[in-house]
Structure 1
């Protein structure tokens, strides 16, 4: 692929001690988030999220400029399940030859290497990081943005995560529309999004998508 891609490699935090029912719900939430992210590009341009090694998973974003937005959506999906649930994610940004017909686990390329190795190097308390190929324009800046985003997503409560998951997607609903969908007031949506530092994350996503890494 000539476009810069993003591979997200993650695992659930503390899954060995977690209620198996919560772990199942977390993976259901990840699958739902993956459906949302894949809809941004069309199902034919991507491969579905793949679970591996029990609590591990991997997802693919065809255009790297959407990596931060996607990572936030996956993070929020798990955090929304329960206050005891969270996922670590390392995003690898680079080029790949092509996706294997056998799925993400059988695919290879620089983005896959960076993502997998990056997750192995992440601290247990970290939730979000990125590793960009050295040839990527502004690679250090991109990695720094993810480090700051890590601080934000690590502090989300389930209610904040629910709101963030819906308002950080592409073509997000209005706060009023989301309030109607969730059965809460627009003011409650605004409060949760504000405490989740959603506007700062949204601005960072918009900046990346404006063409910084093209």
Structure 2
């Protein structure tokens, strides 16, 4: 890989109420997060996200395609919510430049994006916070930070209403390899097309999808 500086996005997360979940459910959560990271590698030209667990209930990934950072974060949270409504994660998102290869263990990584992402994670966990995702450096790619915050707040409000079934149905539709039709998704999930359509409508799929597409287009 070239040593030329390149932009990445770093997501740093902590499970919400990991103590209350218990050890078995924490392991289920990490299995879901790791599987989600492996799925997202296809968005990055098959470059690994280097999913790394740290501090027991913490995790981190590095995205080779920063424009997908918000979609990535929402997919990670949907993968958790699909296990049950008690599953969620705080996430700090930051962009920055790196040089050379990123090693498989992000606990050994350093750089501005890693530091800022961790700092933002700490802010999301403050008692007076009502939003579980914070995103830094969007203004560097032409997206006003106030617009990014507004988008995050609206996505947070929508996500917080998702049931387990809605998250299970939304997750495949949020990926870049989303089913081409509701019929295809219904077959994939073993449900009726009518049921899938009603679930996606209740979860505000159209609005979430359009918001992500517009953010990614502006980023590009």
TM-score by length of 1: 0.90
1:54 corresponds to: 56
- 8 Å CA contact 1:97, 1:108 repeated in 2: no
1:113 corresponds to: 115
Q: Deviations over 1:149-188 (max 9, x none)?
A: 2222222111111111110100200221111121111121
CA distance in 1, matches of 2:99, 2:152: 25
Partner residue of 1:196 out of 188, 197, 203: 203
Segments of 5+ residues of structure 1 without an aligned counterpart are none
Say whether 1:39 aligns with 2:39.
no
CA distance in 2, matches of 1:101, 1:94: 16
How many residues align? The count is 212
Q: Mean alpha-carbon deviation: is it higher for 174-183 or for 127-136? A: 127-136
CA RMSD of aligned residues (A): 1.9
2:148 corresponds to: 142
Partner residue of 1:27 out of 22, 25, 30: 30
Instruction: Report deviation, 1:4.
Output: 3.1
- 8 Å CA contact 1:164, 1:198 repeated in 2: yes
Q: Mean alpha-carbon deviation: is it higher for 18-27 or for 163-172? A: 18-27
Segments of 5+ residues of structure 2 without an aligned counterpart are none
Q: Mean alpha-carbon deviation: is it higher for 146-155 or for 94-103? A: 94-103
- 8 Å CA contact 1:5, 1:95 repeated in 2: yes
